[in-house]
Structure 1
Amino acid sequence: MPNLVENVLVEPLIEALQKETLVTISTVDYETGGPNVSAISWLFAPNEKTILLAVNAESRIVKNVSHNSELVVNLMANDSVYSIHTEATVKVERMDNVPLKLALLHLDVKVVRDVMFYGAKISVEPKFEKTYDVEAAKKLDHQVMTAVRRYS
Structure 2
Amino acid sequence: MGNRIETSLNEDLLATLQEEHYVTIATVDAESGAPKVNAISWIYAKDSKTVRFAVDQKSKILNNIKSEPLVTITVIADGSTYSLTGKAFIGEDVMNNVPLKLRMVEVKIEEVKDVMFYGARLINEPKFEKTYDEEAALKLDNQVMKALKNA
Work out the percentage of aligned pairs sharing the same amino acid.
46
Larger mean CA deviation between 121-130 and 88-97 belongs to: 88-97
- How far is 1:122 from its partner? 1.1
Q: Mapping of 1:1-152 within 5 angstroms?
A: 1=1, 4-151=4-151
Q: Which runs of 4+ in 1 moved over 6 A?
A: none
SS at match of 1:143: helix
- How far is 1:142 from its partner? 0.6
Unaligned runs of 5+ in 1: none
Q: Distance in 1 between matches of 2:93 and 2:68?
A: 17
Q: Distance in 1 between matches of 2:3 and 2:124?
A: 20
Over residues 71-102 of structure 1, what are the superposed CA-to-partner deviations in whole Å (9 max), with x where a residue is unaligned?
10000011100011110010233111000000
Q: Distance in 2 between matches of 1:48 and 1:122?
A: 23
CA RMSD of superposed structures (Å): 1.1
Unaligned runs of 5+ in 2: none
Q: Distance in 1 between matches of 2:14 and 2:100?
A: 26
Q: Report if aligned partners of 1:92, 1:105 keep a CA contact under 8 Å in 2.
A: no
